[in-house]
Amino acid sequence: MIIDFVLGTLLIFGVVRGFSSGLLKTLLTTIFYLLGGVAGFGIGIHYLENSPTSVKKVALLFLAIVVGGVIGQLFGKALGKFIHAKILWAPIKFLDSLAGGALGIIQSGLLIYFLAVLLQISPWTSGQKELAKSQIYPKIEAKVPSAVKNLTTNLHLSRYSSPL
C-alpha cells in the first residue's frame, strides 16, 4: 500500500536525521517543534473558528500547525547546535547519535499521528480510507502517549470531529 510506503519512509527518514543530528540537538528540535506545532494549532483553531468553508478551515489549520512547528524546530535546532558545539566531546558523540536516532523515530511517529488526526477530521474520504487500510499507522497510534492523544480534546478539536 502506498500509505504504508509513505509512513515507512517518514520513519526511516526520522531515524537517519536523528542519528546525524544526535540526541541533544534532536531533543531540543523535537521539543520546540511540538511547542510550535501546538501553538500553531491553538492559534489556528482560535482564528479559524468562524471560517465559512470546511476545506479552507482544514487547509489553513494544517498550514498553521506546519508553520508553527517549523518555526519552533528552527529555534530548537539552533539552540541544539550551539550546545552540541560547546559541551559534547568525541567519546560521547556516538552515543549521542544512537540516542538521536531513537528520538528521531519518535518525532516522526508524532508527526504522523498529528497529521492522521487532521486527516480523520477532514472531508477527504479517500485519504481516510487509505489510512484505515494502513498496517503501520495502528502500530504508531498504539505507541502515542495518552497525554498526546488528549491534546486534541484539550484544544477543543472535538467540536470539529463531525464532517466539516
Q: List, for residues 36-60, the tens digit of each pLDDT value.
A: 999 998 888 888 777 767 777 888 8
Could you tell me what percent of the chain has a pLDDT over 70? Answer: 90
pTM of the model: 0.64
Q: Which position has the higher pLDDT, 13 or 56?
A: 13
What is the count of structural domains for the chain?
1
Q: Which position has the higher pLDDT, 46 or 162?
A: 46
For residue 51, what are the domain limits?
A: 1-163
User: In whole angstroms, how far apart are CA 101 and each of 52, 118, 137?
Assistant: 42, 26, 20
User: In whole angstroms, how far apart are CA 141 and each of 23, 123, 132?
Assistant: 23, 21, 12
pLDDT in tens, 71-125: 999 999 999 888 777 776 777 878 888 998 998 899 899 999 988 888 887 788 8
pLDDT at site 132: 92
Rounded Cα distance, 152 and 159, in Å: 10
pLDDT at site 147: 80
Rounded Cα distance, 2 and 8, in Å: 10
pLDDT at site 155: 55
Cell of 92: 560521547
Could you tell me what percent of the chain has a pLDDT over 90? Answer: 38
